[in-house]
Amino acid sequence: MGRRVRVPAVCWPTYPCLEHNGHGWTACIIALNRGDAATVRFSEAADARGLPFADVQLNLAILIPF
């Protein structure tokens, strides 16, 4: 927990990614869940209204450590 990771843009191909040359969003692991899942909180990503993206659960194998 607490580790910074990149969430690949291919997870949500219809959302424009403005971070890391469009390759993914910076996030932080805030919880480890059952199995191989983690809850991540996005560091910079926000919607059109400026609200931060919601926390999501993703498989650890998808996340790219910094």
pLDDT mean across residues, the chain: 95
Q: Would you state the pLDDT for residue 62?
A: 97
Residue length, the chain? 66
Token representation of residue 13 = 């191909």
Residue 28, beta-bridge partner list = 4, 41
Q: Would you state the pLDDT for residue 64?
A: 97
Place of tokens 């990503």: 45
Within 7-61, residue ranges assigned H as helices are none
**Residue 51 is which amino acid?**
L
Q: Under a CB-based contact definition with an 8 Å cutoff, are residues 29 and 40 in contact?
A: yes
Question: What's the domain count of the chain?
Answer: 1
Give the structural domain span for 34: 4-65
Q: Would you state the pLDDT for residue 35?
A: 86
Q: Model confidence over 25-47: pLDDT tens digits? A: 999 999 999 889 999 999 999 98
